[in-house]
Amino acid sequence: MVENQIAFLGLGVMGAPMTINFAQHNLPIKAWNRTGDRPWLQNVTASGATIVNSIQEAVESASIIFTCLGDIPDVEEVIFGNGGIIHHASPHSIIVDFSTIGSQGARAIALKLKTHQIRFMDAPVSGGDIGAKNGTLTIMVGGEKADFEEIKPYLDIVGKNITYCGEVGSGQAVKLCNQVLASLHMVALCEALQLAKTQNIDPNLIVDVCSTGAAGSWALTNLAPKIINQDYQPGFMIKHILKDLRLVKEVIEDIENYPGINLAQQLFQQVAHQNNDNGYLEGTQAMIKAYGEKF
C-alpha cells in the first residue's frame, strides 16, 4: 500500500478510534475536529496522528480524506461550507464518508463534488465504538469500483467485513437496512430481558443461553450486559439512531406497512425525551427505560 497523506475529519466516538488505528499503522495522517477540547483527543495525538486546527491544514496535502460526522448538514458544511474541503483539497482527491446520511444525501453530495473534480464514496459503518476500537467494523461502500479498489487497503485497517455495494448511495442504502435490523433487535432484546424478569429468571442466563442459538445477535452479546448493569454510556447514541430512522422513512412511501420501524422510533423517542431530553445522548441500549425496567 502506498502511504499517501490522509486526512480524517470528525473525531467523535467512532472517528477518534478509527484515526488511532490509522496512525498505529504508521500512516501519515492529519486529523481535525470541530471541538478541539475533547479529553479523548489526547489519545489520538498519543497514537501518532497530527491534530490540526483547520480543515485546510488537514486536507491540502491529502490524497484521501475520511469524514465521520453526524447528519447531512454536518457533512455538507464540512465539505462545501466556508473553509470546507472543496476550497483546499487537491483535484482528483477522494472523500470517503463514514457517516450515515442516506442514499439520497450521498448521491447529491457526489454530484456536486464532480464539478470540483473531487471523487466521493459513501462508506457507512456498523459495529459501534467496540468495532471502531478493535478495527472490526462492517463497512458498506458505494461509488466507482476503481475508487473502491484504491481505498480498500485503508478500509482493511479499520474494518473486518468490507463490501462494495455498487454505485454511489448503495452503501447508504444497505446501511439503512442495517439500522432497521439494529433498531428492531433492540426492541426484541428489551422485551426478552423484561420477560426474563417477569418469570424470575436471571437475565444473564438469557445472554449466556440465547447467544448460542438461533436468537443470537451482536446486540444480545454486546448490549444486553450493558442493560443488565444499567450502563447507558453511548457506543451509539439514541440521537443518531433516530436520525437514521428518519432517513429510512424518507425513502419509504408506504410507511404504514412497516410497523416495526414505527415502534422502534416511538420507543427511542420516548427515552430521548426523558431527563430533560438528555436521553438523546444515551446509548441505544437505554431503550429499556421505555419499559420502566431496571436490572
Which residues are catalytic, by number? 175
123 within 8 A of 171, measured Cβ to Cβ:
yes
H/E stretch holding 196 reads helix 170-198
Query: Which triple of cell numbers denotes residue 20?
Result: 488511532
Do strands 137-142 and 125-126 pair parallel, antiparallel, or not at all (unpaired)?
antiparallel
Give the whole-angstrom CA distance, residue 202 versus residue 105: 45
135 within 8 A of 111, measured Cβ to Cβ:
no
Give the whole-angstrom CA distance, residue 8 versus residue 25: 14
**Among candidate residues 208, 189, 191, the one with its CA nearest the CA of residue 199:** 191
How far does Cα 89 stand from its chain's mean position? 24
Give the whole-angstrom CA distance, residue 211 versus residue 217: 7
Q: Angle of helix 170-198 relative to helix 102-114, nearest 10 degrees?
A: 160
H/E stretch holding 220 reads helix 218-222
Query: Which triple of cell numbers denotes residue 78?
Result: 464540512
Give the whole-angstrom CA distance, residue 244 versus residue 254: 18
Give the whole-angstrom CA distance, residue 109 versus residue 69: 14
**What do you get for the CA distance between the two ends of the chain, in Å?**
48
265 within 8 A of 290, measured Cβ to Cβ:
no
